[in-house]
Structure 1
Amino acid sequence: MDSKATNLPPICRFIVLTAAWLSGTAWSADEEAYFSELPIVASVSRLPQRLADAPTSVTVVDREMIKASGARDLNDIFRLVPGFQTYPNNTESARATYHGMGDGDYSSRVQVLIDGRSMYSPLFGGGVNWATLPVALEDIERIEVVRGTNAVSYGSNAFLGVINIITVDPALARGTSVSTSYGNQNVRDYVFRTGGKIGDVGDFRFTYKQQNDDGLTNRYDWVDSYFSRLFDFRADFALSDRDSLQVSAGQADGVVQNGRMLLSHGLWVSNPENPLRDMRQSDSYAQLLWRRVFSPDSDLQFRYSYVVDRSDDAFTISNLRINQSGDEGVRHELEVQHSLKLANTARIAWGGGWRDDAMRSDWSLPGMGDVHRSVGRLFGNVEWKPVQWFTGNAGMAVENDSLAGMHLAPRLSSSFHLNAENTLRLGYSRAYHTGSTVDYRGQQKAFGVSYFNARPDLMAAESLETFEVGYLGDWRDWRASLDVRLFSERIRNRLYKIDMDARTNLAGNLIGLSTVPIQDVDIQGVEYQFKWQPFDVTRLIFTQTLANVSSQYLPSALVLTNSSLTTSKAVQIQELTDRSMPTCSTSVMLMQKLPLGLEFSTAGYWQESMKWSTNTTALRYHRIDMRLGYPFRTGGLAGELAVTVQSLNGDHNEYKWTNPGDATPNGRIVERRQWVSLRLDF
């Protein structure tokens, strides 16, 4: 180490080493000229890489984009990412899916990480509950979205992609900030954040945030509202010139409405068989992340996280307590990762992890107490750069699941740098996706009737083979970039909850469900994102996805379900699969700095129709959002006054519209929402 650097305080020496490692000093000076304007990402191979070297496409959503989008809810951000679909929190939990396949209450095929911690919960169907993610938009530094399977790096939940949320370094959050937002639909938001030093070697950041609104318009047989509250704390310590420790903890609570109303004598009243009630949910966590930097080319990380999820929407029918959403899920997770330079032309990131998931539910796992599930995995990714014009990536992961067995996930990718502005990428990967704990162990019964029976003997894991061709253009003279991804994704043994004995209840709905493989699915298409900054004060982002989903039933499906896949039911399920993503979706965002210090942004979203459930349709829509902000500074006080309007162009449907002819229409209508925000920084 340089003698001058050794005279710095420990925290400064650690920052110097970290910056040198992330800047890729292991690469030659000639290579630094390549793609110097493109961001460095670490979410694909777990190695910090330029986008031109990464084995698949990545969309980076930075703080400026998050603010300019005008989003209040995190899942709303992903409208700006090619291939993603999302809808607002309402009587059912918000979802964000990539390339469809978003059936179920909580999507489970895209891994969501916050500072390396998985947001997947054994309680919520092995999926993500967007209502209780313990992170405030104000604390997000950037989001790296891996558009394509990444099970080789992050396990079976990264089946179709990864959302990696990276929060702000506490050293950059000094002082105190308070903000509030007031608007129609009872929008009432409050944020308090403070940060500072901890002695000579640490920094901390604490955030409290509360959100409230009346949700989507009350139409027919449901009532919508949303309340959330979170506490989040993070502290970073430089223990020595080589060692750092990150400590974080927090809790998020969310309350939404469950239940339905019933038309009785011309009046809408609470349905006694599904009464209106609060669904209360929470996520509490603690995490330790220790890192040692051996050199600019090598480091070791150890992470431990503890997460508890709880949910409750209990109600009583005929003295029977029903709590379909609860009760508790607990996760312990350990992970170690070592990154190092193997030679002048190669680097590797490898490691392993273990987690224990425990779930307890009187409804889904009656009489079983805590049901445990342990998963161990080993992973490795190698980057090879023998010459300036070529980058090769290879990875392999093996995962052993106490409920689902052992699976391998390989990946190969080759990037050809045609010149300093153009890269062509070819890639192949294979991944696996397993069911939830309830899928393997669940037994749901009420009033003597079986609603769900796990059949682990029939639970083959889903497999995914992906072939892709990518192009990345970095046209620095034009201050523009273009990322194109052509993909062919084949899912075998698509899992679905289907009736196994063809019995029906009084309402004609199939009962006695089990999760079994029923389909093979093909997803093919192209997606691209174009970014252009023609002037220092103007930034334009355009994305589009064109895709086709097709499916066919497995020959074994009718045998497994004893012919319960009747013609009408089979058509419904196949239509749900084939329309689980729109054939075309487009987004565009303009960010413009105006005279007098004003900042203007507008975003437009266009989406063809799709289906989130078998008996409903999300209609084709377009939506325009707008934000106008005025940052100010007076003496020691700074802040911003802003006005935001969502759905500026008027009402539309994004989530659910019942099929024509239904006796009770049940649409979810997104109306114009506007609010004024004030932030003060001290």
Structure 2
Amino acid sequence: MKLPPSHAFAASWRCAILLAACALPARASQVSLDSGSTDLAALPLEQLVALQVTTASRFPQSIADAPSAVVLLTAQDIRDFGWRTLADALASLPGLYVTNDRNYSYLGARGFLRPGDYDSRFLLLIDGVRTNDSVYDQASIGSEGLLDMDLVQRIEYVPGPGSAMYGSNALFGVINVITKSGSAMAGPQAAVSVGSYGERAARASYGWHGQDGTDWLLAASSSRRDGQDLYFAEYAAEHGGVAHGLDFDRAQRLFAKAARGPLTLSAGYVARTKGVPTGSFGALFDTANQTRDTQAFAKAALALPLASGVDLALLAHWGRADYQGIGSYPGESGQALVNVDGDHAAWYGASAQLTLDRIQDHKIVAGVDLQRNARRDQFSYYREPYELFLDDRRSNGRSAVFVQDEWHMRPGLLLNAGLRYDRDSNAGSQFHPRLALMYRTGPADTIKLIYGTAYRAPNAYELYYGYPGEGGQQANPALSAERISTRELIFERRLDATGLARLSLFNYRMRGLIAQDVQPDSGLLMFANLQRAVAVGGELAYERQYARGLRLRTSFAMQHADDGDNAQLVNSPRRLFKLNLALPLPALKARVGAELQCGSARRTQTGMVGGYCVSNLLASSTHLLPGAELSLALYNAFNARYADPAGPVFVQEALLRQSRTISAKLAYGF
């Protein structure tokens, strides 16, 4: 199958290049700030580069000193471009791309995203707490995500292997979502939005900050989308190929956060029900197939300064995730049988970290991480007549020790060296290092040379899921961990007080990739360590703030990823282009944001899907209603027709992405 590229693909590429070229010669100037402003997006880039980020090394350091090409997104970015999910925000970053199968969103990096894989090769943190679940190891970034995006203060993305600091799952990067404080959302606030295809959402929150430093935030939100009737040519013989009313999405969220002195407490909960219109996993087409997801987390963190230059951080966390997939399947006598397939995941853990900053030219962090996966349960059964296929109940644990030294060898030369030892009851013992040598060749230029390795332990689904019969699956408890080694050269140049350019050249090798294969003796599918992946590429990123507050962020990525035998990986674009423009209109007390995302053609299981360019537009104003902000967003503004490669559980070779939609939002602070 070969899907045509978007009609606007070639024209949009030319348009994007012209926009960027026109912006470059403009004269930059410092933007004046109100004395009380804490808006990160309003800061000149010189200050942004000097901001302290915590994710790369588990202690505060400037972006310039971080052992990675760290990217920071702010709350203002979220408002400017109308991002409704974490997937929307991440899709704007260099080298990342997002696909969607009308059920979940999936994140790819540097040419690697296999259709049907869950987001288990990224580590997702919320305020520093691991949220990947204990059955699928999934990082939830779509409408099933834990947070309302209005509650996000900033997103720190650390590309590259992160196991030297965080252990399993951090093969391609670590994402840390940092939530707002009560002072940032002071007083009662409410927001409502409506949009295409029956979209509506509401949020209520209350934030408070006391003179004694006590700070707390409470928030509740709900969203609903009826969706549209969708046509799939592969099912033309069934119901005319139209799935009626099955693209709906409903979610409810709760979030609470409190802090006083050295103690911080937070908790979150989400429940989502999503219709599945695609007939995946062999389900009957145009029947009431759906998934139900719930997830919750809680954390308690304590920061204790023990002495001058010696700090202790203690953390305890808990999480739970439950999933049900409900679908109708053909029975032997022709009647439809309802299957319920799902899992129950629960985990808890603790960590202790000591940061030592009293040895001259050294900053050392050392610690212990513990996690107990108390439930990794999976089940599958038919409702009527009741027939049980799977009732697998498991638990496991992992423990780790880590150490890292940031050594200022001499002025302008910095070595960041880290090592972590993990003991996983499934993956065994793992040692993973990271070495980063950073050299400032001048006041504006920094060169970073980085080497690191990472691993992903096989998840419970890959290890233990199995059911008999035709098209069935066989468990494989003997699976071993996936591993990656990455080499990266980064060149950063601060163009002036308002500009930053970055070039990243990378090479990675993955081995022991877990994939399914048919067993010759049983005819059943089974996960095994079958595959490899090799990639080489580069990412060029540019960010600048111009006169009158115009903000430009753009990137271009090229990569070649193959299976080690020169066969291009499925769902691996060779080129990605991103452009984000935000312009304040002070006279109207308004802002305008424009976003362009382009990707080249990708392989499917047996063919190709064409390249695409998608544009999003948003206008917002605080002038139209006193005390309120009104925004109007247009997503896929030019109605580009494009598709993502589908996984092996779909009849379709590719799945069309969402057509043009419009959304209006009103936020009001009382």
- What range describes the TM-score normalised by the shorter chain of this pair? 0.7 to 0.9
Which one-letter code corresponds to 1:107 in the other structure? D
CA distance in 1, matches of 2:183, 2:360: 34
Which one-letter code corresponds to 2:491 in the other structure? Y
Which one-letter code corresponds to 1:362 in the other structure? F
CA distance in 2, matches of 1:336, 1:663: 48
Which one-letter code corresponds to 1:455 in the other structure? N
Alignment counterpart, residue 253 of structure 1, candidates 271, 280, 291: 271
Residues 258 and 184 from structure 1, CA distance in 2 versus in 1: closer, same or farther, beyond 3 angstroms?
closer
* Paired residues of 1:524 and 1:548 also in contact (CA < 8 A): yes
CA distance in 2, matches of 1:463, 1:261: 33
Residues 666 and 49 from structure 1, CA distance in 2 versus in 1: closer, same or farther, beyond 3 angstroms?
closer
1:600 aligns with 2:592: yes
* Paired residues of 1:219 and 1:668 also in contact (CA < 8 A): no
2:340 corresponds to which residue?
323
Gaps of 5+ in 2: 1-44, 233-240, 382-387
CA distance in 1, matches of 2:647, 2:322: 31
* Paired residues of 2:312 and 2:352 also in contact (CA < 8 A): yes
Spell out, residue by residue over 1:89-114, the C-alpha distance to the aligned partner (whole angstroms, 9 max, x if none).
Answer: x5331112222433334121011111
| Greater RCO, 1 or 2 (C-alpha within 8 Å, sep 6+) | 2
* Paired residues of 2:110 and 2:537 also in contact (CA < 8 A): no
1:482 aligns with 2:466: no
1:132 corresponds to which residue?
144
Alignment counterpart, residue 464 of structure 1, candidates 467, 484, 487: 484
* Paired residues of 1:658 and 1:667 also in contact (CA < 8 A): no
CA distance in 2, matches of 1:259, 1:183: 20
1:428 aligns with 2:451: yes
1:410 aligns with 2:433: yes
Q: How does 1:475-624 map to 2 (within 5 A)?
A: 475-477=495-497, 479-501=498-520, 512-552=524-564, 578-594=569-585, 595-611=587-603, 614=605, 618-624=609-615
CA distance in 2, matches of 1:424, 1:593: 34
2:129 corresponds to which residue?
117
Which one-letter code corresponds to 1:501 in the other structure? P
CA distance in 2, matches of 1:214, 1:230: 18
CA distance in 1, matches of 2:427, 2:393: 18
Which one-letter code corresponds to 2:343 in the other structure? D
Spell out, residue by residue over 1:540-595, the C-alpha distance to the aligned partner (whole angstroms, 9 max, x if none).
Answer: 10111100001137xxxxxxxxxxxxxxxxxxxx96x6243210001111111123
For the residue of structure 1 that corresponds to 2:219, the secondary structure is strand
2:635 corresponds to which residue?
646
Which one-letter code corresponds to 2:487 in the other structure? F
CA distance in 2, matches of 1:415, 1:623: 36
* Paired residues of 1:126 and 1:436 also in contact (CA < 8 A): no
| Aligned-residue offset at 1:178 | 0.6
2:621 corresponds to which residue?
630
Alignment counterpart, residue 369 of structure 2, candidates 342, 353, 373: 353
| Aligned-residue offset at 1:320 | 6.7
Q: Structure 2 length as normaliser, TM-score? A: 0.83
For the residue of structure 2 that corresponds to 1:153, the secondary structure is helix
1:311 corresponds to which residue?
323
Spell out, residue by residue over 1:313-365, the C-alpha distance to the aligned partner (whole angstroms, 9 max, x if none).
Answer: 234655976323x1311111211111121412000111111111121122399
* Paired residues of 1:260 and 1:276 also in contact (CA < 8 A): no
CA distance in 2, matches of 1:184, 1:34: 40
Residues 126 and 278 from structure 1, CA distance in 2 versus in 1: closer, same or farther, beyond 3 angstroms?
closer
Which one-letter code corresponds to 1:601 in the other structure? G
CA distance in 1, matches of 2:48, 2:105: 37
1:99 corresponds to which residue?
110
CA distance in 2, matches of 1:530, 1:34: 14
Supply the RMSD in Å over aligned alpha carbons.
2.8
Q: How does 1:320-399 map to 2 (within 5 A)?
A: 322-324=339-341, 326-357=342-373, 358-363=375-380, 370-399=393-422
CA distance in 2, matches of 1:538, 1:667: 36
Moved more, 403-412 or 431-440: 431-440
Which one-letter code corresponds to 1:470 in the other structure? I
Residues 271 and 59 from structure 1, CA distance in 2 versus in 1: closer, same or farther, beyond 3 angstroms?
closer
| Aligned-residue offset at 1:66 | 1.5
Which one-letter code corresponds to 1:98 in the other structure? A
Determine what percentage of the aligned residue pairs are the same residue: 19
CA distance in 1, matches of 2:189, 2:514: 47
* Paired residues of 1:97 and 1:110 also in contact (CA < 8 A): no
Which one-letter code corresponds to 1:648 in the other structure? A
For the residue of structure 1 that corresponds to 2:463, the secondary structure is helix
CA distance in 1, matches of 2:532, 2:54: 32
Q: How does 1:140-219 map to 2 (within 5 A)?
A: 140-197=152-209, 200-215=212-227, 218-219=230-231
Q: How does 1:239-250 map to 2 (within 5 A)?
A: 244-250=262-268
Residues 322 and 639 from structure 1, CA distance in 2 versus in 1: closer, same or farther, beyond 3 angstroms?
same
CA distance in 2, matches of 1:515, 1:657: 19
Residues 512 and 585 from structure 1, CA distance in 2 versus in 1: closer, same or farther, beyond 3 angstroms?
same
Which one-letter code corresponds to 1:402 in the other structure? S
Residues 468 and 261 from structure 1, CA distance in 2 versus in 1: closer, same or farther, beyond 3 angstroms?
closer
CA distance in 2, matches of 1:345, 1:386: 7
| Aligned-residue offset at 1:196 | 1.5
Residues 346 and 599 from structure 1, CA distance in 2 versus in 1: closer, same or farther, beyond 3 angstroms?
same
For the residue of structure 2 that corresponds to 1:363, the secondary structure is strand
Alignment counterpart, residue 472 of structure 2, candidates 451, 455, 462: 451
2:251 corresponds to which residue?
228
Spell out, residue by residue over 1:515-548, the C-alpha distance to the aligned partner (whole angstroms, 9 max, x if none).
Answer: 1122221111000211111224111101111000
Residues 550 and 345 from structure 1, CA distance in 2 versus in 1: closer, same or farther, beyond 3 angstroms?
same
Spell out, residue by residue over 1:439-462, the C-alpha distance to the aligned partner (whole angstroms, 9 max, x if none).
Answer: 2233323xx4572222233x2322
Which one-letter code corresponds to 1:95 in the other structure? Y
| Aligned-residue offset at 1:62 | 1.1
For the residue of structure 1 that corresponds to 2:531, the secondary structure is strand
| Aligned-residue offset at 1:260 | 4.9
CA distance in 2, matches of 1:173, 1:664: 45
* Paired residues of 2:132 and 2:139 also in contact (CA < 8 A): yes
Which one-letter code corresponds to 1:643 in the other structure? L
Residues 451 and 122 from structure 1, CA distance in 2 versus in 1: closer, same or farther, beyond 3 angstroms?
farther
| Aligned-residue offset at 1:217 | 5.5
Spell out, residue by residue over 1:235-264, the C-alpha distance to the aligned partner (whole angstroms, 9 max, x if none).
Answer: 1111xxxxx1111122101111136569xx
* Paired residues of 1:40 and 1:50 also in contact (CA < 8 A): yes
